[in-house]
Structure 1
Amino acid sequence: MGEKLLIVEDDEAIAGILKEHLQKEGYDIVWSSGGKEGLEDFKNGDFDLVILDLMLPEMDGFSLCKNIRWLDKEVPIIIVSARQEDFDKVKGLKLGADDYITKPFSLVEVSARVEAHLRRFRNTNFSSDSNTGINFLHGLTVFPEGNSVFLNGEEISLTSKEFQLLNLMMQNPNKIFSKEELYENIWENIDISGNNTVTVHIKALREKLKDSIKNPDFIQTVWGVGYKFIGERII
């Protein structure tokens, strides 16, 4: 099959069992031992499915699930957790998880759930064309796969963080992101002292996009809350 799976689990024994079993099933497995590491691995890889625990160091599974779903709307996410309360299951599913398996689990059940979600993913997934840009009114064109941005036909030189900020908000139009959420996703850190870092990068991004704070075309400040992308896409 060759599908690539990400397992985010801090219990080395459980992770080892899952990894060995799924590798025997023919999957390519990457293991992350913490939430922050898992988010970094997800950003740097091209995964077909994610399996994650809820009790993780540095960034818990709920936050990781939320951040992954912002980055990718389609990749299947399966939570495997010892938490059996309905509240946790509902919260995980509302954050974008596709399935919830409680520990202890059957390896046969895990295989069946993985295959079922991958089957759906295969039917809906398609390859992105790096040569196809996403166009917005007021002259903005973004190439997500090529990490490039053009304004009125001229390429804009963005830093890696500036591009990630723009791409994240663009992929989630009209969603209000708090500074904490942006810092958590882009800098992979939950330290709220990073709020000023976000402010500085948003300011620089706006300047490069020639976007007015008072009458923005792309990034709107929601005072006291955060920012949202309001660009009107041209279909």
Structure 2
Amino acid sequence: MKGNILIVEDDIEIATIIKDHFKREKYNVNWASSGKEGLEDFKQNSYDLIILDIMLPEMNGFDVCKNVRLLSNIPIIILSAKKDEFDKVKGLKIGADDYMVKPFSLLELEARVENAINRYKRGRNINIDNEKWYYKDGLTIIKDEMRVLINEEEVELTAKEFNLLLLLAQNEQYAFRKSELYENVWNEMNCEGNNTVTVHIKELRQKIKEDVKNPKYIQTVWGVGYKFIGERIL
């Protein structure tokens, strides 16, 4: 197979046309009909590219793109009826790799998909050994094995604690709102009045021996949330 594609599109006719075309061209294709479904599908499966509409139920395409980009460099092609230049610029600024306007040519879409996947696969091959991250003051994150070490001693984290740490570390110096952390780690859209993130950050800090008053890794951004400030050395 040439690659794994996720289509996030609420128009059944358009989604079926795209899906059937790429299946004939020897791609594996899955389809999600809402933004929330698409984001959850992306997190649960491995893809090489996303074809993404903007006007979606439950979560719009811009929010899907922003959340995916926090987790991955997977190519994203926005395919939308919105022709305004503002929308194109917004999509590209939040991390989309390409923007096509409906109605569209299937052959042109296929060419763009093929080029984007080939670039992505080449980049992944170059960085294939770069999944063990070392930080000043003794922190090590081994992504694929879901392991964390402090001064070479194993730290026992829950899956949620590890995913929190990984998300923060993948986006160092980005100030996450608690709602963003909740959306990405718990796959829920709203944490208003919910202390789940705060409690898990507290537990995570204790386990990695973080001094809250003089943080080395996770800094509280007052009025916003948290950001990762660890100094990576390898």
TM range (shorter): over 0.9
Residues 15-58 of structure 1, C-alpha deviation per residue, up to 9 Å, x if partnerless? 11110001111111111122122112112222111111111222
1:233 aligned onto 2:232: yes
Deviates more, 1:88-97 or 1:3-12: 3-12
Would you say the 8 A contact 1:183–1:195 is kept in 2? Answer: no
Q: Which residue of 1 aligns with 2:22?
A: 22
- 1:188 and 1:55 map into 2 onto residues whose CA distance is 20
Counterpart residue type for residue 43 of structure 1:
K
Letter paired with 2:230:
G
CA distance in structure 1 between the partners assigned to 2:193 and 2:150 by the alignment: 29
Offset, 1:189:
2.3
> Counterpart in 2 of 1:91?
90
**What residue identity is the alignment partner of 2:44?**
N
Shift of 1:4: 0.6
Give 1:129 deviation, angstroms: 4.2
Distance of aligned partners of 1:194 and 1:17 in 2 relative to their CA distance in 1, 3 Å threshold: farther
Cα-Cα RMSD: 1.6
Superposed displacement of residue 128, structure 1: 3.2
1:13 alignment partner in structure 2: 13
Deviation at 1:192, TM superposition (A): 3.6
SS of corresponding position for 2:192: helix
TM-score by length of 2: 0.94
Kept in 2, the 8 Å contact 1:5–1:29? The answer is: yes
Contact 1:180 1:195 in 2 (8 A): no
1:47 maps to 2:72: no
1:194–1:53: structure 2 CA closer, same or farther, 3 Å change rule?
A: farther
Structure 1 unaligned blocks of 5 or more: none
Structure 2 runs not aligned, ≥5 long: none
TM-score after normalising by structure 1: 0.94
**What is the number of equivalent residue pairs in this alignment?**
233
CA distance in 1 between counterparts of 2:187 and 2:90 reads 21
Paired residues of 1:133 and 1:143 also in contact (CA < 8 A): yes
Identity of aligned residues (%): 56
1-structure distance, mates of 2:15, 2:48: 18
Which amino acid is the alignment partner of residue 120 of structure 2?
A: F
> Secondary structure at the residue paired with 1:167?
helix
CA deviation map 1:130-169 (0-9, x unaligned):
9x52111111111111111111222112111111111011
- Tell me the SS of whatever aligns to 2:31: strand
1:122, distance to aligned residue in structure 2 (A): 2.9
Kept in 2: contact 1:129–1:145 (CA 8 A): no
Contact 1:82 1:102 in 2 (8 A): yes
- In 2, Cα distance between the equivalents of 1:61 and 1:195? 26
Distance 2:7 2:40 in 1: 13
Deviations 1:153-210 (A, max 9, x none): 2211211111111101101111111112111222222214265211111111111111
Alignment partner, residue 212 of structure 1? 211
Matching residue of 2:173 = 174
Aligned partners of 1:35 and 1:56 also within 8 Å: yes
Change (3 A) 1:194 1:188: farther
* Alpha-carbon separation, structure 1, partners of 2:193 and 2:48: 31
